[in-house]
Chain A
Amino acid sequence: MSNRRSRQSSSAPRISDDQMIDLVTKLRQILPEIGQRRRSDKVSASKVLQETCNYIRNLNREVDNLSERLSQLLESVDEDSPEAAVIRSLLM
């Protein structure tokens, strides 16, 4: 009940510790380093959040690099029209 209410409003005055721990654990399992190496509860929530921020920034940077490479490749493929048609038909 309180969860639903806190979802609708922007501030959650009461969030249970269990809920917090649950969410942070879920986050920890997704992170590449901390989540997989040690399964002890010694990792603090602050560290998990820090790793999450870094990971998201890394992923964003990787997507930016990839999109730049993709744009260059798309430009180069444009010139060979039969290849472009072939690629398009294959990928679809």
Chain B
Amino acid sequence: MASLISDIEPPTTDLVRRKKRSSVSSAASPSTSAASVSGESHARWRSEKQQRIYSAKLIQALQQVRLNSSAATSSSPTAQKRGKAVREAADRALAVSARGRTLWSRAILANRIKLKFRKQKRPKTPTKIPSMTTVVNSSNRSRTRRVSVLRLNKKNIPDVNRKVRVLGRLVPGCGKQSVPVILEEATDYIQALEMQVRAMNSLVQLLSSYGSAPPPI
């Protein structure tokens, strides 16, 4: 078993390191140009350290998802529900990586807890599995059904205002925020999503390369 690990280790860590190196080098040029304006948020989501932190959290969350789904085999029969559970876990890991500094991350974490308590009276871990699938459905439905009847701000340009409201609905937790808050949250949210995409991409590549390779003996 030890020899197996040592044999496989170089290419995997190489792949992982290559992913991080490529992300850092590709982020080097835009981050330096934007450093004057928003250097802090740019560097935060594109740094190697942040990517490493998020990858570790993501893997932990995914392992939990796998344990839950294997424990109760009949709970997630459809592939769609399993995919949504993975998306939930990834979002949660992303929100935790934000360290509570942004609205959208707090909203993601708060939504999970709120809906979990609403659907199940007793907040016990054995009931987490069915509540997770119901959470997904209700959260999606509530997100799309929410109609904003916001005419609070009287801006100069109503068209821009309308688009900002649409943007506010897209970013979690920013449906009723003011314009500058929405714009700031959107910038952070986009960068976090980009990192999420990068991390999940490399994870998929890693797992698919293992799946296709024959098990060495």
Report A's interface with B, CB cutoff 8 A. 3, 6-7, 9-13, 15, 19-20, 22-27, 29-31, 36, 45-46, 49-50, 52-53, 55-57, 59-60, 62-64, 66-78, 80, 82-83, 86-92
Contacts and interface: CB of A to CB of B under 8 A. Distances in A.
B178 A12 contact: yes
B5 interface: yes
A90 B179 CA distance: 44
**Ordered nearest first, which 10 A-B pairs have the shortest CB separation?**
A68-B83, A49-B163, A12-B178, A67-B86, A67-B87, A23-B183, A71-B82, A11-B152, A66-B200, A59-B193
Contacts of A77: 207, 210-211
Contact of B203 (A19, A20, A46, A70): A70
B105 to A, nearest CB: 15
A73 B207 contact: yes
Interface residues of B, number: 72
A91 B9 CA distance: 10
A42 B86 CA distance: 41
A10 B204 contact: no
Nearest to B90: A67
B211 A49 contact: no
B217 to A, nearest CB: 10
A85 to B, nearest CB: 8
B38 A92 contact: no
Contacts of B55: 91
B86 A70 contact: yes
Contact of B160 (A6, A46, A63, A71): A46
Interface of B: 1, 4-5, 8-9, 12-13, 16, 30, 33-34, 37-38, 42, 55-56, 59, 62-63, 65-66, 69-70, 79-80, 82-87, 90, 152-155, 157, 159-160, 163-164, 166-167, 170-171, 176-181, 183-184, 186-187, 189-191, 193-194, 196-197, 200-201, 203-204, 206-208, 210-211, 215
**Interface of B: prevailing SS:** helix
A17 B203 CA distance: 43
20 contacts: A7-B181, A12-B178, A15-B179, A23-B187, A24-B183, A52-B186, A59-B193, A63-B196, A64-B87, A67-B83, A67-B90, A68-B79, A68-B83, A69-B204, A70-B62, A72-B79, A76-B211, A83-B215, A86-B5, A87-B207
A13 B206 CA distance: 50
Nearest to A3: B180
A89 B183 CA distance: 40
